[in-house]
Amino acid sequence: MNDRLRQRIEALREKLRNEPAAPLIGDVPEGIARPNSGSAFWDEFLAISDGGRYGSVDLFANRNLSTNQFWLEQIALKDAIVVGQILYRPLLLDLKSNHLLFAADGSEPMDLGHADVVLETQFLGSGYGQLDPSFKEDEWWDLVR
Protein backbone atom coordinates (compact mmCIF):
# COMPACT_ATOMS: atom_id res chain seq x y z
CA MET A 1 0.00 0.00 0.00
CA ASN A 2 1.45 3.34 -0.98
CA ASP A 3 1.97 6.23 1.44
CA ARG A 4 -0.37 8.60 -0.46
CA LEU A 5 -3.23 6.14 -0.06
CA ARG A 6 -2.49 5.67 3.64
CA GLN A 7 -2.47 9.47 4.13
CA ARG A 8 -5.69 9.86 2.11
CA ILE A 9 -7.48 7.29 4.28
CA GLU A 10 -6.33 9.02 7.46
CA ALA A 11 -7.33 12.47 6.14
CA LEU A 12 -10.83 11.28 5.17
CA ARG A 13 -11.27 9.57 8.53
CA GLU A 14 -10.43 12.88 10.23
CA LYS A 15 -12.78 14.84 7.95
CA LEU A 16 -15.62 12.49 8.84
CA ARG A 17 -14.92 12.82 12.56
CA ASN A 18 -15.62 16.55 12.22
CA GLU A 19 -18.68 16.12 10.00
CA PRO A 20 -22.08 16.02 11.77
CA ALA A 21 -23.66 14.17 8.82
CA ALA A 22 -20.89 11.54 8.73
CA PRO A 23 -23.21 8.55 9.36
CA LEU A 24 -25.08 9.47 6.17
CA ILE A 25 -21.93 10.03 4.12
CA GLY A 26 -19.53 7.23 4.92
CA ASP A 27 -17.45 5.41 7.48
CA VAL A 28 -13.66 5.03 7.50
CA PRO A 29 -12.99 2.79 10.49
CA GLU A 30 -9.65 2.29 12.20
CA GLY A 31 -7.59 -0.67 11.07
CA ILE A 32 -7.15 -3.92 12.97
CA ALA A 33 -3.99 -5.50 14.37
CA ARG A 34 -3.93 -8.87 12.61
CA PRO A 35 -6.16 -9.10 9.55
CA ASN A 36 -6.41 -12.46 7.79
CA SER A 37 -8.18 -11.89 4.50
CA GLY A 38 -6.19 -14.47 2.55
CA SER A 39 -4.23 -11.73 0.77
CA ALA A 40 -1.14 -10.10 2.27
CA PHE A 41 -1.85 -7.10 0.05
CA TRP A 42 -5.46 -6.68 1.26
CA ASP A 43 -4.34 -7.24 4.85
CA GLU A 44 -2.28 -4.04 4.52
CA PHE A 45 -5.48 -2.14 3.72
CA LEU A 46 -7.41 -3.77 6.57
CA ALA A 47 -4.62 -2.82 8.97
CA ILE A 48 -5.27 0.84 8.08
CA SER A 49 -9.05 0.68 7.65
CA ASP A 50 -11.02 -2.43 8.57
CA GLY A 51 -13.45 -2.19 5.68
CA GLY A 52 -15.77 0.79 5.64
CA ARG A 53 -18.46 2.59 3.71
CA TYR A 54 -17.14 4.98 1.10
CA GLY A 55 -20.31 6.50 -0.29
CA SER A 56 -21.96 3.73 -2.30
CA VAL A 57 -18.89 1.50 -2.07
CA ASP A 58 -18.86 -0.94 0.84
CA LEU A 59 -15.62 -2.68 1.74
CA PHE A 60 -16.14 -5.58 4.10
CA ALA A 61 -14.52 -5.69 7.51
CA ASN A 62 -12.13 -8.58 8.08
CA ARG A 63 -14.69 -10.38 10.28
CA ASN A 64 -17.29 -10.25 7.45
CA LEU A 65 -15.15 -11.39 4.56
CA SER A 66 -15.80 -15.13 4.94
CA THR A 67 -19.60 -14.72 4.95
CA ASN A 68 -19.51 -12.86 1.63
CA GLN A 69 -17.55 -15.37 -0.45
CA PHE A 70 -20.77 -16.97 -1.76
CA TRP A 71 -20.51 -14.61 -4.76
CA LEU A 72 -17.53 -16.60 -6.01
CA GLU A 73 -19.77 -19.59 -6.77
CA GLN A 74 -21.96 -17.47 -9.06
CA ILE A 75 -19.04 -15.79 -10.80
CA ALA A 76 -16.86 -18.91 -11.08
CA LEU A 77 -13.64 -16.98 -10.61
CA LYS A 78 -10.57 -18.66 -9.14
CA ASP A 79 -7.81 -16.92 -7.21
CA ALA A 80 -10.03 -14.09 -6.00
CA ILE A 81 -11.78 -13.00 -2.84
CA VAL A 82 -14.87 -10.84 -2.46
CA VAL A 83 -13.75 -7.72 -0.57
CA GLY A 84 -16.84 -5.54 -0.89
CA GLN A 85 -19.72 -4.37 -3.02
CA ILE A 86 -20.76 -1.45 -5.18
CA LEU A 87 -24.49 -0.92 -5.37
CA TYR A 88 -24.97 -4.43 -3.93
CA ARG A 89 -22.92 -6.11 -6.66
CA PRO A 90 -19.66 -7.90 -5.74
CA LEU A 91 -16.25 -6.27 -5.71
CA LEU A 92 -13.42 -8.79 -5.89
CA LEU A 93 -9.68 -8.75 -5.41
CA ASP A 94 -7.68 -10.84 -7.86
CA LEU A 95 -5.12 -12.57 -5.63
CA LYS A 96 -2.47 -12.79 -8.36
CA SER A 97 -2.56 -9.23 -9.74
CA ASN A 98 -4.06 -7.31 -6.78
CA HIS A 99 -6.53 -5.77 -9.21
CA LEU A 100 -10.07 -4.98 -8.14
CA LEU A 101 -12.78 -6.56 -10.27
CA PHE A 102 -16.39 -5.46 -10.36
CA ALA A 103 -19.17 -7.87 -11.31
CA ALA A 104 -21.81 -5.30 -12.23
CA ASP A 105 -24.51 -7.41 -13.82
CA GLY A 106 -23.58 -11.03 -13.33
CA SER A 107 -21.44 -11.09 -16.47
CA GLU A 108 -17.66 -11.35 -16.61
CA PRO A 109 -16.15 -9.12 -13.90
CA MET A 110 -14.70 -5.84 -15.15
CA ASP A 111 -11.08 -5.09 -14.20
CA LEU A 112 -11.02 -1.68 -12.48
CA GLY A 113 -7.23 -1.66 -12.11
CA HIS A 114 -4.68 -2.14 -9.35
CA ALA A 115 -6.33 -1.88 -5.94
CA ASP A 116 -4.00 0.90 -4.70
CA VAL A 117 -4.91 3.09 -7.67
CA VAL A 118 -8.63 2.30 -7.56
CA LEU A 119 -8.85 2.95 -3.83
CA GLU A 120 -6.96 6.22 -4.05
CA THR A 121 -8.46 7.71 -7.21
CA GLN A 122 -11.92 6.17 -7.56
CA PHE A 123 -13.18 5.21 -4.10
CA LEU A 124 -11.38 7.95 -2.14
CA GLY A 125 -10.79 10.54 -4.84
CA SER A 126 -12.24 12.58 -7.65
CA GLY A 127 -12.76 9.49 -9.84
CA TYR A 128 -15.59 8.38 -7.54
CA GLY A 129 -18.13 10.23 -9.69
CA GLN A 130 -17.05 8.20 -12.73
CA LEU A 131 -17.97 4.84 -11.19
CA ASP A 132 -21.69 5.48 -11.70
CA PRO A 133 -23.49 8.64 -12.86
CA SER A 134 -25.66 8.65 -9.72
CA PHE A 135 -22.56 8.94 -7.51
CA LYS A 136 -22.22 12.60 -8.43
CA GLU A 137 -25.42 13.15 -6.45
CA ASP A 138 -24.24 11.73 -3.14
CA GLU A 139 -22.43 13.45 -0.31
CA TRP A 140 -19.36 11.21 -0.51
CA TRP A 141 -18.65 12.79 -3.91
CA ASP A 142 -18.71 16.23 -2.26
CA LEU A 143 -16.26 15.02 0.39
CA VAL A 144 -13.67 13.43 -1.92
CA ARG A 145 -13.45 15.75 -4.90
127 and 55 Cβ atoms separated by less than 8 Å: no
Query: Could you confirm whether domain 3-132 is CATH 3.40.1350?
Result: no
Task: Report, as an integer, the average pLDDT of 98-126.
Answer: 92
Residue 108 clears pLDDT 90, i.e. is over it: no
The domain limits of the chain are 3-132
Q: What is the pLDDT of residues 6-52, one digit of tens each?
A: 999 999 999 999 989 898 899 999 999 999 999 999 999 999 999 99
pLDDT of residue 94: 96
pTM of the model: 0.93
CA distance 114 to 94: 9
Neighbours of 88 (CB within 10 A): 7
CA distance 110 to 26: 24
Residue 106 clears pLDDT 70, i.e. is over it: no
